[in-house]
A and B are shown apart, each in its own frame.
Chain A
Amino acid sequence: MSESTTRTAARPTASGWLQAWLPRLVLAPSVAVSLFFVYGFMLWTFVLSLTSSRMLPSYDFVGFGQYARLMANDRWWVASTNLMVFGVLFIVICLVIGALLAILLDQKIRQEGALRTIYLYPMALSFIVTGVVWKWLLNPQLGIQAMVQSWGFESFRFDWLVNPDMAIYTLVIAAVWQASGFVMALFLAGLRGIDDSIVKAAQLDGASLPRIYWRVVMPCLRPVVFSAVMILAHIAIKSFDLVVALTGGGPGYATDLPATFMYTHAFNRAQIGLGSASAMLMLGGVLAILIPYLYSELRSRKHG
């Protein structure tokens, strides 16, 4: 009832109208920007992916020809396979290290704050800096290999950076170094949110500590695992800077990822159509992990 009285009270004056529309007016530029720069650009890239554009965008349509070329392109397959290898290893190792460190840190550790700070700081760095540093550490002549050899282990080999079969794993090492502390922080927050009484009850039942963690604590952390996987997968698909700085996609194109493939073809090799097609497939990859995630988020929101 009060609702209707206030509504009749507000006469349709110019200032009243302005007040009612102000929130929408404030949002309008951002909405317009989103529509144009996000949705419009996605559509635009899709259109480009259907054309024969090379050096400059042109609009003679060739259907899905660029996608067919992409599928027939060996380098694209190397990039996609690399993404699978890199993504899976990166995600799994980050989760394992992050969960372990969080559980260990959660045992009333002195200096916990300092350790946490150290574990997490790489996340503040640019992937370019990370790449530059690890390129230096992994340099066979001067880095870790040379150091271990100087300790007397002359036959020690750690030349993955220049080995086409192993270089992709150097990306995993550097990326794990950068992001695992962040996963630790997520897990730690999750652990701190678990109700102590569940654990106490399990202890009274005589469950061993590993068993408590595996059967009681980990299931409570499922949402954390889910979010972490989603973020890490996202980082993996977007990884561009790290590859550029650490391996430059090399040796040869052994460490290309779709992100670097797209950039190289669109900006350096005058293959705009092909580059656009690869960008659309990257978008598809992101959507494939994003949609189930959002779906479950929204569902749990409604139930809870």
Chain B
Amino acid sequence: MANVIRRQTPAARLLRVVLYGVLIVAGLFYILPLVVMLMTSIKPLSEISAGTLLSLPQNPTFEPWAKAWGEACTGMRCEGVGGYFWNSFAIVIPAVLISTTVGALNGYALTKWRFKGSELVFALMLFGCFIPFQVVLLPMAQTLGWLGLSSSRAGLILVHVVFGIAFTTLFFRNFYVGVPNELVSAAKLDGAGFFRIFWRILLPVSAPIIVVSVIWQFTQIWNDFLFGVAFSAHNTQPVTVALNNLVNTSTGVREYNVDMAAAMIAALPTLVVYVLAGKYFVRGLTAGSVKG
């Protein structure tokens, strides 16, 4: 579909100038909030009230970042968002690893070892991608209580694994459908078993989908707020909850530069992932939402 506008008349040239103009203005709409956030986070407070959103920092300082990391008050406590940043990692890493592993095995079993009802099993699990999580909040709170996992990191990991499996199974299932069955049948005739076939045949070709699954799960879980706010206590909160508490703390002078620094800190890991592996990020988005 590319390349429809191509004739080199003056009118067409003008059209191209307009085209670039529109695209750049749109780019500004998307990029300016990030620029403003970054600039505000390195301004001293006095410059913020004196200048405007777009005035450049006169005396750039990383003090707001240090304060956001180590001393800013989130709710009652004044220890910055640093600890919560590590909390998020402590929750995200195991949750991503477990849900991706389980998803890979599920997808493999569902495509290469079809049995009566395996499609039904898939459909049944798929539903977990679509429910509004409000519908599971209250029973989840009670179940975590029974399991002794209330307000713990382990509890949050469990929640993210449970509701992540639907997505990871979907990813791997759709990917493994495309791997030729002949390879697997041949191995079966040679007497290779379930795990051996997975390990020797499926896993070596799975790198792209593993990357997609890891990135998708990482961003989903890192960006989660609902489960974080419902099921964590002050010492197990993820960074999104801490950021929200920090920004909504009503005591003292509003330190916008510290707020923006904290927002940057909370955003950095997923931004880094996006910049480094944007292609896979997009693939995850489309695969996770447009099914099939």
Q: Give A193's nearest chain B residue, CB to CB.
A: B1
Binds A, one of B126-134, B148-156, B205-213: B126-134
Q: State which of A27, A122, A137, A248 has its C-beta within 8 Å of the C-beta of B106.
A: A27
Q: Which residues of chain A in 15-66 are interfacial with respect to chain B, using CB atoms and an 8 Å cutoff?
A: 19, 22-24, 26-27, 29-31, 33-35, 37-42, 44-45, 48, 57
Q: Which residues of chain B in 100-143 are interfacial with respect to chain A, using CB atoms and an 8 Å cutoff?
A: 102, 105-106, 109-110, 113, 115, 118, 121, 124-125, 127-128, 130-140, 142-143
Is A282 on the interface with B (CB-CB < 8 A)?
Answer: yes
3 closest cross-chain pairs (CB), A and B: A23-B113, A126-B223, A124-B274
Is A120 on the interface with B (CB-CB < 8 A)?
Answer: yes
Binds A, one of B34-42, B56-64, B70-78, B89-97: B34-42
Contact A34 B124 (CB under 8 A): yes
Instruction: State whether A280 and B135 are in contact (beta carbons under 8 Å apart), knowing that A22-B193, A115-B27 are contacts in the complex.
Output: yes
Q: State which of B16, B52, B256, B286 has its C-beta within 8 Å of the C-beta of A150.
A: B52
Interface of B is mostly: helix
Contact B23 A227 (CB under 8 A): no
- In the docked arrangement, what's the CA distance between A277 and B67, Å? 43
Interface size class of B (residues with CB under 8 A): 35 or more
- In the docked arrangement, what's the CA distance between A126 and B30, Å? 15
- In the docked arrangement, what's the CA distance between A45 and B259, Å? 37
Q: A153: shortest Cβ distance to chain B, in Å? A: 12
Contact B140 A186 (CB under 8 A): no
Interface string of A254-293 (1 = CB under 8 A from B): 0000110011001100001001101110110110001000
Is A118 on the interface with B (CB-CB < 8 A)?
Answer: yes
Instruction: State whether A129 and B243 are in contact (beta carbons under 8 Å apart), knowing that A124-B281, A282-B132 are contacts in the complex.
Output: yes
Contact A142 B256 (CB under 8 A): yes
Q: Give B269's nearest chain A residue, CB to CB.
A: A124
Count of interface residues, chain A, beta-carbon cutoff 8 Å: 101
Contact A128 B135 (CB under 8 A): no
Instruction: State whether A34 and B125 are in contact (beta carbons under 8 Å apart), knowing that A23-B113, A129-B267, A212-B4 are contacts in the complex.
Output: yes
With a 10 A CB-CB cut-off, give which of B6, B115, B137, B140 has the most chain A CB atoms: B137
With a 10 A CB-CB cut-off, give which of B135, B222, B282 has the most chain A CB atoms: B135
Contact B33 A177 (CB under 8 A): yes
Binds B, one of A86-94, A99-107, A161-169: A99-107
- In the docked arrangement, what's the CA distance between A297 and B290, Å? 10
Q: A177: shortest Cβ distance to chain B, in Å? A: 7
Measuring CB to CB, which residues of chain A are less than 8 angstroms from any residue of chain B? 6, 19, 22-24, 26-27, 29-31, 33-35, 37-42, 44-45, 48, 57, 97, 101, 104-109, 115, 117-129, 132-137, 142-144, 146-147, 150, 177, 181-182, 185-186, 189, 191-192, 194, 196, 199, 203, 209, 212, 217, 227, 231, 234, 237-238, 240-241, 244-245, 248, 258-259, 262-263, 266-267, 272, 275-276, 278-280, 282-283, 285-286, 290, 297, 301
Contact B131 A48 (CB under 8 A): no
Q: Give B123's nearest chain A residue, CB to CB.
A: A294
Q: State which of A41, A181, A196 has its C-beta within 8 Å of the C-beta of B140.
A: A41
Contact B165 A33 (CB under 8 A): yes
- In the bound complex, residues from chain A placing their C-beta under 8 Å from that of B260 are 132-133, 136
Contact B138 A120 (CB under 8 A): no
Q: Give A238's nearest chain B residue, CB to CB.
A: B132
Q: Which residues of chain B in 156-178 are interfacial with respect to chain A, using CB atoms and an 8 Å cutoff?
A: 162-163, 165-166, 169
- A-B residue pairs in contact (CB < 8 Å), sample of 16: A42-B135, A106-B2, A108-B6, A115-B27, A118-B27, A123-B285, A126-B223, A128-B223, A182-B285, A185-B285, A209-B4, A217-B1, A227-B289, A240-B134, A244-B244, A276-B138
- In the bound complex, residues from chain A placing their C-beta under 8 Å from that of B128 are 34, 37-38
Contact A27 B33 (CB under 8 A): no
